[in-house]
Structure formats: structure tokens, C-alpha cells
Amino acid sequence: AVGCDGVVGSGAVVDTCGVCGGQGRGCKQFEGIFMEPILPKGHQPVTTIPRGAMSLNISELRYTGNFL
């Protein structure tokens, strides 16, 4: 088998942070709760997802009638 490093038989795999041959320690974790009580009608940005982000969990804590 070819590892993620392109070498046959290396056994290199992508870790949970998306790094080939990594140890899973290079991740940056972001979390927060958006609490804006009233927004204008229409599409409104609420956050920016960093480039290369993996394993996202974006959810509503309760029903709001809005769309994510």
C-alpha cells in the first residue's frame, strides 16, 4: 500500500488533524456560541470557518426558525 506521503510501504497515514504522518497534536480547536438576539432580515454571516477546517459540528441549541 502507498502511504499518504506517496511512498510504497511507508505506512504513513493522515492523522485526526489532517497531517500526513502526524501525531494528532497539531489541531486548533475553536468553539463558541452565537448569541445575537435580533438580526436584520435576510442572510447574515455569523462566523467564518477557517480554511482547512475539519470535523465541524455546527448546530442549533434550540429551535429558532432560522436556517444554518
CA distances from 9 to 5, 15, 24, 54, 68 (A): 10, 17, 21, 27, 43
In eight-state DSSP terms, residue 49 is: P
Q: What is the pLDDT of residue 9?
A: 95
What is the average per-residue pLDDT within 42-56?
86
The pLDDT score that the predictor gives to residue 50 is 86
What is the Cα–Cα distance from 28 to 4, expressed in whole angstroms?
A: 21
Q: Average pLDDT of 13-40?
A: 86
Does residue 20 surpass a pLDDT of 90? yes
If one counts every other C-beta atom within 10 angstroms of the C-beta of residue 16, the result is 13
**Would the pLDDT of 65 be above 80?**
no
Let me know: does 48 contact 58? Beta carbons within 8 Å: no
pTM of the model: 0.53
Instruction: Give CA–CA dist 50/33, Å, rounded.
Output: 16
User: What is the pLDDT, as a whole number, of residue 47?
Assistant: 85
